[in-house]
Amino acid sequence: MPVSSTRHVSIPATDRHTGAVHFDDIVLARTRLRKKLTPTPVVTHPLLAQRLGCVPFVKLENAQLLGSFKIRGGLNLLAALTDKERGAGLITATRGNHGQSLAHASQLHGVKCTIFVPEGNNPDKNAAMTALGAEVLVAGHDFDSAWLAAVRHAQQSGGLAIHPSRAPALIAGYATVALEMLEQVTQPFDSVFVPVGGGSLAAGMGLAFKALSPHTRLIGVQAASAPALARAFHSGEMKEAPIEPTIADGLASRVPSRDTVAILRETLEDIVTVDESEIHAAIRCYADTLHQLAEGAGAAALAGATRLKRRIAGQRVGIVLSGGNITSSALLSVLHGDPVSMSESQPNQALESMDYDPRPHRGRHEF
């Protein structure tokens, strides 16, 4: 399907890095990324089709550089920054995939990158970010408290704070997943399932589908253990929601973003939540059918499609496998049908008030 830059959807602007996203921005991101990234495959399998009762097309973002769709946003963001902004250095917070993306893109441009992670974060992802040249600091019991630490650090250092689900350049980069999917099929999708944590991927894809394939129903899928954005989507109220341990650590966001929710309420048909057993089953299903590795967040969209299989019966259905960065111990537990331990799934600690004290990622630190 040809890409046109004549249509756009936007949200109210606040500032350059948390403002409006237009369809033209998505087209520009695609132009930038085409020079840097090879499109990831869209695949199907008869056994998967049999299990879902539809015609599924899975977008393999686990095959992306660094194992996640997030690289699209990082590369697009760094390309969009001014020299002055790059010179100030970038500061962010992450559970891992966004941080790896920003660290990689910053390294390519010679930009200083400081990344805050919560306690108990995936140690492999911490190590990967460090190997990509970022300074990794531990602060807080979950992503949102790590983000507050990042904002304070940016205020003190003069660096540029980049939120993983609010920066327009990130959202535009993530939206290129949708452009590729539309170009890789010969007929339109009836429904598309996409994982939702902070909501940036779903927001970007929602804008793209609304512009190019408005009849396609986009359905977000969030872990029931971290339901903040799903609740905000349905109620319109921006309220925090406690987070329970989840293997989908990439979806574990406690505080919804008003701007992101505004896009989602305009472009998505629904957001559904899935429990841990459904996510585990989806990880196993990917291994059994497509022989693909999926992390918890990466398998959430398939879990949602499975939950709604009666609704999508006979449809042409897109499913985004957003990432494959799962630890070997968690993968083995899931494949064997065993419970995933706290250390394997990197859950958030109990919500509590702490003092800010960022330090390198070793030992126990508090926020």
Catalytic center residues: 70, 322
Cα-Cα-Cα-Cα torsion 169, 170, 174, 180, nearest 10 degrees, comes to: 30
CB of 20 closer than 8 Å to CB of 263: no
Beta-carbon count within 10 A of 20 CB: 15
Residue 220's nearest CA partner among 276, 282, 263 is: 263
Distance CA 318, CA 101 (A): 24
Distance CA 252, CA 247 (A): 9
Distance CA 359, CA 116 (A): 9
Residue 207's nearest CA partner among 27, 22, 1, 70 is: 22
CB of 240 closer than 8 Å to CB of 143: no
